Amino acid sequence: MDAQDHQYNIALPGTTIDALIVGAGIVGAACARELSLAGLKVTVCDESDVIGGGATAAGMGHLAVMDDSEAQFALTSYSQTLWHELSPQLPAEAEYLPCGSLWVAADAEEMEEVNRKFRFYSARAIRVELLDEQQIAEAEPNLRPGLSGGLLMCAASVCYPPCAAAFLMKRITFLPGRRVIAVSSDGVDFADGTRLAAGLTILATGTEITRLVPNAPVYPRKGHLLITDRYPGFLNHQLIELGYLKSAHSTESDSVAFNVQPRQTGQILIGSSRQYGTEDPATESHMLSRMLARAVEYMPGLTELSAIRTWTGFRAATPDKLPLIGPCESLNNVYLATGHEGLGIATSLATARLLADHILGRASAISLEPYLPGRRFAAHG
């Protein structure tokens, strides 16, 4: 049976399109909504017949603000504001949950980093709270005793990304099951031999970008996740260990970090691992064990919970941890919106707004400069 109108429209052949978006992940969906709200005639195509079936179906959906760099902070905090504005409109199935997130410090050294973050965010008007040993134990009774404290990011929330993407795609024309094999300044070629003309094309293909733009500096970075049965009340906030930063920063070796999330269903989503150099989507038991062992170190009670599913996904990583947003250097009328690594759900809305501002010549709230695909990348080791 065909999808019905309130899901998405199916494009009619022979119509003219202002903007074609390749990729119906959360980033493509957000771009589609932005441009369509601006009055453009937008079509989205995807090689799969599911909205949000790529990395978007795998990601944790933590709508976080991060401070790796000023540019990362600018994009994540702007995007969080946009999520906040959008949240009243989100349908129930998008499972938007303003649970706040909590950086967990295991020792004095990590507590120093918590203090630094506290100063960083306070200075930028982000709502944060410092928790000491006792306060963190009260906030999350299932954490192991004896942790040094933590930093509560009050405005953080989580969502269910595939349904958030479907919401963003509402009333947008969708061409399912169409794989783009070539892009030019006036449109795209599909694998089935057909062509589609478009005024402009946005490539929001996640890790797959290098199939269309071979020199794009994007590498797949595998992650494992596990979800439990329902245990309402077991976990209150998204929790992340400070060691996560070491894991996220390492660009070579495989790493795991304690990263757990409460779902609206009462389930607990447990992450996460980071691996380069593999494109095999299988769940690897040794990575899963390592990841779980790390989680259990922080939350011993997890061992008794029932795991119902594991899966993996691929983040689109770039050398400088910032996404590629803006004109494609080698092709006129073609734009990139990819390379969001582990923050693509969080930053999808800001990505779309900035790109639309650029395309439409509007002023934007933050500078697009740091994310331009043509920027220089320092050699990375």
Partner 1 sequence: MIVVVGAGPAGIAAALRAQECGARVTVVDDNPAPGGQIWRGDSNVWLTRFRASGIPFIASARVITGDAQAQTLLVETPEGARKLTWDKLIIAAGSRELFLPFPGWTLPGVFGAGGLQALAKSGLSVADKTVVIGGTGPLLLAVAAYLRQHGAHVKLIAEQASPAGLAGFAKELLRNPNKLLQGVALARHIAGSPYVTNCWIESATGQGRLEAVTLRQGRRTWTERCDFAAIGYGLVPDNELATFLMNSPNVVIAGTGELNLAILEGEIAGFTVAGYPERALGLYGKREKAHRFATALQHTFALRHELKSLPRPDTIVCRCEDVTFGLLCEFPNSRAAKLHTRCGMGPCQGRICGPAAEFLFGWNPGSLRPPLFPAKIGSLMPATTE
Ligand X SMILES: Cc1cc2nc3c(=O)[nH]c(=O)nc-3n(C[C@H](O)[C@H](O)[C@H](O)COP(=O)(O)OP(=O)(O)OC[C@H]3O[C@@H](n4cnc5c(N)ncnc54)[C@H](O)[C@@H]3O)c2cc1C
- Binding-site member from 310, 368, 370, 375 for partner 1 (CB under 8 A): 310
Q: Phi first, then psi: give them for residue 90, nearest 5 degrees.
A: -65, 135
- Binding-site member from 21, 27, 82, 322 for ligand X (CB under 6 A): 27
CA dist 358 → 10, 140, 242, 309, 375 (Å): 28, 43, 35, 41, 16
- Give the three-class secondary structure for 54: coil
Q: What is the closest distance, in whole angstroms, from the C-beta atom of residue 292 to partner 1 in the complex? A: 5
- Binding piece for ligand X, criterion CB under 6 A, among 36-44, 83-91, 127-135, 303-311: 303-311
Burial 259-276 (b: 16+ CB within 10 A, else e): bbbbbbeebbbbbbbbbe
Q: What is the closest distance, in whole angstroms, from the C-beta atom of residue 295 to ligand X in the complex? A: 14
Alpha carbon distance 187, 195 (integer Å): 7
Alpha carbon distance 226, 269 (integer Å): 6
Q: Residue 140 binds which entry of partner 1, ligand X, none, with Cβ cut-offs from 5 to 8 Å by kind?
A: none
Copy the structure tokens of residue 78.
């702007």
DSSP-derived pairing of the beta strands 9-10 and 173-175: parallel
Alpha carbon distance 109, 204 (integer Å): 40
Q: Residue 272 binds which entry of ligand X, partner 1, none, with Cβ cut-offs from 5 to 8 Å by kind?
A: ligand X
Nearer to partner 1, 143 or 336 (CB): 143
Under the binding rule (CB under 6 A), the answer on residue 46 touching ligand X is: yes
Under the binding rule (CB under 8 A), the answer on residue 306 touching partner 1 is: yes
Q: What is the closest distance, in whole angstroms, from the C-beta atom of residue 294 to partner 1 in the complex? A: 10
Under the binding rule (CB under 8 A), the answer on residue 1 touching partner 1 is: yes
- Pick out residues in 101-160 that bind partner 1 (CB under 8 A): none
Under the binding rule (CB under 8 A), the answer on residue 40 touching partner 1 is: no
Burial of 316 per CB tally in 10 Å (0-12, 13-18, 19+)? buried
Q: Which residue has the tokens 């607990």?
A: 268
Under the binding rule (CB under 8 A), the answer on residue 297 touching partner 1 is: no
Under the binding rule (CB under 8 A), the answer on residue 92 touching partner 1 is: no
How many CA atoms lie within 13 Å of 2's alpha carbon, on the beta-carbon side? 10
- Pick out residues in 215-274 that bind ligand X (CB under 6 A): 223, 225, 227, 267, 269, 271-272
- Binding-site member from 33, 44, 62, 258 for ligand X (CB under 6 A): 62
Nearer to partner 1, 97 or 131 (CB): 97
Burial 17-47 (b: 16+ CB within 10 A, else e): bbbbbbbbbbbbbbbbbbbbeeebebbbbbb
Under the binding rule (CB under 6 A), the answer on residue 327 touching ligand X is: no
Under the binding rule (CB under 8 A), the answer on residue 162 touching partner 1 is: yes
Burial of 137 per CB tally in 10 Å (0-12, 13-18, 19+)? middle
Quote the crossing angle between the two packed helices 70-86 and 344-360, to the nearest 10°: 90
Q: What is the closest distance, in whole angstroms, from the C-beta atom of residue 229 to partner 1 in the complex? A: 5
Under the binding rule (CB under 6 A), the answer on residue 142 touching ligand X is: no
Q: Residue 346 binds which entry of ligand X, partner 1, none, with Cβ cut-offs from 5 to 8 Å by kind?
A: ligand X
Where do contacts with partner 1 occur on this chain (CB under 8 A)?
A: 1-4, 7, 49-53, 57, 93, 162-163, 166, 176, 226, 228-229, 270, 283, 285, 288-289, 292-293, 295-296, 302-311
Where do contacts with ligand X occur on this chain (CB under 6 A)?
A: 22-28, 45-48, 53-62, 160-161, 179-180, 204-206, 208, 211-212, 223, 225, 227, 267, 269, 271-272, 281-282, 308-309, 311, 313-315, 338, 340, 342-346
